[in-house]
Amino acid sequence: MARLRTGVLISGRGSNLQALIDACTARDYPAEIVLVIANRADAAGLDRAARAKIPTRVVAHRGFTERAAFDAALDAALREARVELVCLAGFMRVLGANFIDAWRDRMINIHPSLLPEFPGLDTHARALAAGAKRHGCTVHFVRNEVDNGPIIVQGSVPVLPDDDADKLAARVLAVEHRAYPLALRLVADGRVRVRGDSVEIDGRPGPVRLDAVA
Ligand code: GRF
């Protein structure tokens, strides 16, 4: 079985990367991680990749004065590794339109909210402030507008009465770690088709929803 050659872009602790690494250890998993790229040398996720014997690269955004040159360096590293699908996993740089177009429908992202609610930063505090009853995460194809694009999987959790942003974040993170491996599996199995602004999965309207009860 040919496994989908996947590159993961990170900026930090890499717990979603770890969830993908763990998923890839299953013999029947349809993707393999062939490269992890961080835009910071101190990203803790690089150690996770190294422990799993996955090649790593640091493409430091500080080394570039122009975003286009940074994007081109990322693109070159991904192509050199013959990456077929890019997973953004806590990658904190905004990518340019040319890069996004070049990887259209071949790049997915995980965002810690139930998009279209709460794009951007501080999603957990904002969900609490808005009095949301449920909150969660979204795995979606990347489009030029930040935190936008056809949604593959959403995982939701309840918001509980004594939540603060940290408690809620931890509950969301647990569902992220299920949602991202599921989304990558669906894409790598060829079960996901982009249809305009949304996806079909096995010929039926997406997204797949994971609704945790606690
Ligand atoms: C996650 O909450 C993810 O949804 C967001 O950034 C965070 C990354 O965490 N995009 P980690 O580095 O995967 O632990």
**Minimum CA distance residue for ligand 1 atom 6:** 90
What pLDDT does residue 214 have? 75
Name 76's Cβ contacts closer than 8 Å, sequence gap at least 6: none
Cα(190) to ligand 1 centroid in Å equals 25
Length of the chain: 214
The question of whether 135 is a catalytic residue gets the answer: no
Name 124's Cβ contacts closer than 8 Å, sequence gap at least 6: 112, 135, 165, 166, 168, 169, 172
Any ligand 1 atom below 6 A from CB of 155: no
Cα(90) to ligand 1 centroid in Å equals 4
Q: Which of 21, 110, 142 to mutate to test the pocket of ligand 1 (most atoms within 8 A of CB)?
A: 110
Q: Are 7 and 74 in contact (CB under 8 A)?
A: no
Q: 31-38 and 4-10 as β-strands: parallel, antiparallel, unpaired?
A: parallel
**Nearest atom within ligand 1 for CA of residue 109:** 10
Cα(15) to ligand 1 centroid in Å equals 7
Name 176's Cβ contacts closer than 8 Å, sequence gap at least 6: 15, 16, 19, 110, 112, 137, 155
- pLDDT mean for each 10 residues of the chain (214 residues): 96 98 98 98 98 98 92 98 98 96 98 98 98 98 96 98 98 98 98 98 98 83
Torsion of CA 23, 179, 105, 144, to 10 degrees: -130
Q: Are 109 and 125 in contact (CB under 8 A)?
A: no
**Minimum CA distance residue for ligand 1 atom 2:** 112
**Minimum CA distance residue for ligand 1 atom 12:** 14
pTM of the model: 0.97
The structure tokens listed for 33 are 């991680």
Cα(147) to ligand 1 centroid in Å equals 13
- Annotated catalytic residue, options 61, 111, 135, 140: 111
For the chain, which domains are there? 1-103 (3.40.50.170), 112-138+150-214 (3.40.50.170)
Element (H or E) spanning 38, and its range?
strand 31-38
